Chains A and B, each alone.
Chain A
Amino acid sequence: MNDFPKDQEFLLPASNVFIALSLLAALLLNWLPWHGILLALHPDFVALVLLYWCTHKPYRVGIGMAWMIGIFADVADASLFGQHALAYTVLAFGGVVLNRRMQMFDLRQQTLQVFPVLLLAYVVYTLIHWQLHGYVAWTYFLGSVTSALLWIPLTLLLQNMRLPRPDPDDL
């Protein structure tokens, strides 16, 4: 983990298919039927994966992409059109702004950087809800904490999947 910024240049370039599949997987994870306390705690996988791509490949996955995915999330969730889209737009902006800074930090420090951005997206979503319905479910914010905690495993996972495969014919 300590020499993580240095071996970044050995990562394979992320293919469009890989990015699309990771986002799709995140959407599917979000759509799992969560219940009860898990519903309050469940991390927003889409936000995390979006943030990963926005910080690592800001010219490939940017604000426009985040907005599109937000629209899909809105339809699937039966929330108002634009509710997720707005939250993810703000999130993607945060990710693009963080892009340079993230490369100087190790994963633990990155988590601290990522948490406020996630929290901001959650606040945006809640603000819209509060504006329309006039009440706030405070347990909802727990999700931003679990999402931030998932940053390290998710980054490791995606980095690992982007590592070049050792060629069996090498030796």
Chain B
Amino acid sequence: MEETQSFRFFNRGPGPAARLVFFVLLSLLLLFVDARYRYLESVRSAVSIFTYPLQRLVAAPGALWQQADSFFTLQGNLLLDNTRMRQQHTIDAVQLQQLQVLQAENQHLRDLLALQQRTAFPMQPAEIVYVERDIFKRKLFLDKGAQANVQAGQVVMDDIGVVGQVTRVYPWLSEVTLITDKDHSVPVQVLRNGLRTVVFGSGDTGDLALRYIPDSADIQEGDMLVTSGIDGTYPPGLPVAKVGHIERDPAYPFARIQCFPVAGVDRHRQLLILSGLPKLPERPEAVVETGADKPKRGRGRKP
């Protein structure tokens, strides 16, 4: 390039090195602004209006294939499914009757104790449009966005448990960070004894980790972890994970605990977005941030 720069007959604008410096600085500026201040969400959703149809187009063959696949499902499979579901239904119906009794009893007890009522949360179904294309991230895109009143911070679950949390909302899409994402954490409680803790993603699809649990803590393999509802982001009592493997090494102050998500974090196509969480009173200003669901390093989720 040196010769062209010294023998330039036609003005081509600044040389490549100058351009490189300019665009590198511009990118770094954007990175900094986006990571620190998140001012650019409106720009992002504006650009997404152009990219969204293209992304849908790319996803179309896969969707078509799935539709064709479900169309040609064997009748045997359907029959099998039907019997299984009927059995499940009978079991569920019995349990539901007990549940009604329990609900009434619970209501009564809560009335007695004057505790705040637990309400059922409105939820809307949404479909996964794309999965993550980046090996670093555990994210999904759902086909409901700001148009369907989805808000950042809402919880996404399947029929069994928590799958993730809406972290960014586009006009027709919303981005869900899965609970297995490395940067994601969920405030939970051990169902057996009510021990409060936080479960972190590990970056793998099938893994969660409980960190900072002392060796002596009362936690066993097979324990169920449900959301505690502390922090007001997650509604209480949703199943999150099951404790899988505990390693108590006296050399370390904390036990190493591996958990498995109960929900099909990497399995389903249809998910539910919960909305209408109970409003908690404002958290008093604290000097040191100790929130359980604290966003890490500027990639935070909720306002």
Contacts and interface: CB of A to CB of B under 8 A. Distances in A.
Contacts of B168: 78
Nearest to A129: B136
A135 B1 CA distance: 37
B26 A67 contact: yes
Contacts, number: 125
B28 interface: yes
Given A31-B58, A59-B12, A78 B139 contact: yes
Contact of A89 (B27, B131, B135, B297): B27
Interface stretch (A9-17, A94-102, A107-115, A153-161): A94-102
A28 B135 CA distance: 18
Q: Looking at chain A's contact residues, is the secondary structure mostly helix, strand, loop, or mixed?
A: helix
A81 to B, nearest CB: 4
Contact of A80 (B23, B34, B47, B62): B34
Given A96-B16, A133-B182, A77 B133 contact: yes
B20 to A, nearest CB: 4
Interface residues of A, number: 48
Given A31-B133, A129-B136, A81 B298 contact: no
Contact of A75 (B44, B132, B203): B44
A132 B19 contact: no
B158 interface: no
A75 B133 contact: no
Interface stretch (A34-42, A144-152, A162-170): A34-42
B19 A82 contact: no
A90 B20 contact: yes
A63 interface: yes
Interface in B2-41: 12, 16-17, 19-20, 23-24, 26-31, 33-35, 40
Nearest to B183: A133
Given A75-B48, A100-B1, A128-B31, A137 B20 contact: no
Contacts of B35: 80, 132
Nearest to B128: A33
Contacts of B134: 77-79
Contacts of B30: 80-82, 85
B254 interface: no
Given A63-B19, A66-B23, 6 more contacts: A70-B27, A75-B51, A93-B19, A97-B1, A135-B203, A140-B135
23 contacts: A28-B54, A28-B58, A32-B58, A33-B62, A34-B133, A39-B132, A63-B19, A63-B23, A71-B47, A75-B47, A76-B51, A77-B133, A81-B33, A81-B34, A83-B27, A85-B23, A86-B28, A89-B23, A97-B1, A100-B1, A133-B182, A135-B203, A140-B135
Interface of A: 24, 27-28, 30-35, 39-40, 58-59, 62-64, 66-67, 70-72, 75-83, 85-86, 89-90, 93, 96-97, 99-100, 128-129, 132-135, 137, 139-140
Interface of B: 1, 12, 16-17, 19-20, 23-24, 26-31, 33-35, 40, 43-44, 47-48, 50-51, 54-55, 57-59, 62, 130-137, 139, 141, 168, 175, 182-183, 203, 297-299
